[in-house]
Amino acid sequence: MSCIQNQHIYTLRNCQGGTVADLSGEDNYSIIGYHSHNGPNQAWIFQNDGDGWSIKSVGADKYLGIEGDVDGAGNGTKVVAVSSPFKWDVKDSDVEGVEGIRILVHGKKLSMDLSDKGNATEGTPIQLWTRWHGANQIWAPVEHK
């Protein structure tokens, strides 16, 4: 099982682009790749309910979720901040030579993905994409002490 621990706080660094998962300060909704500045909008509390994980922003009373309904989700669906817990599966990296975690929509093969194959440009959207062996779908958790 992954190195993630229940109720611990992490920053999620993308293993391809090097940017971190950031709740945009512009709209408090978009989840984007951005340089790490250790802000509360880049810190995430992982909460396990025994059947999956919810991931809550330290800086806002919001959770990592998706735009629209889970049944309609597919390649390119945006990862966004939502008001209610959204269920994710957290797995160890399955990409050879890349250490970190894969975050998938619970029960689906849709992975949290830094778009444009891990584009390091600030503001690059984080989206869902079918699981594949790309480092842009692997996130290195950095625990806050």
Average pLDDT over residues 42-57: 97
pLDDT score of 28: 97
Q: What is the residue-averaged pLDDT of the chain?
A: 96
Instruction: Detail the DSSP E strand segments found in the chain.
Output: 9-14, 20-23, 31-34, 44-48, 53-57, 63-66, 79-82, 88-92, 101-105, 110-114, 124-130, 139-143
pLDDT at residue 9 in the model: 98
pLDDT band at 1 (very low <50, low <70, confident <90, very high): very low
Q: For residue range 89-132, what is the model confidence (pLDDT) as tens digits?
A: 999 999 999 999 999 999 999 999 999 999 999 999 999 999 99
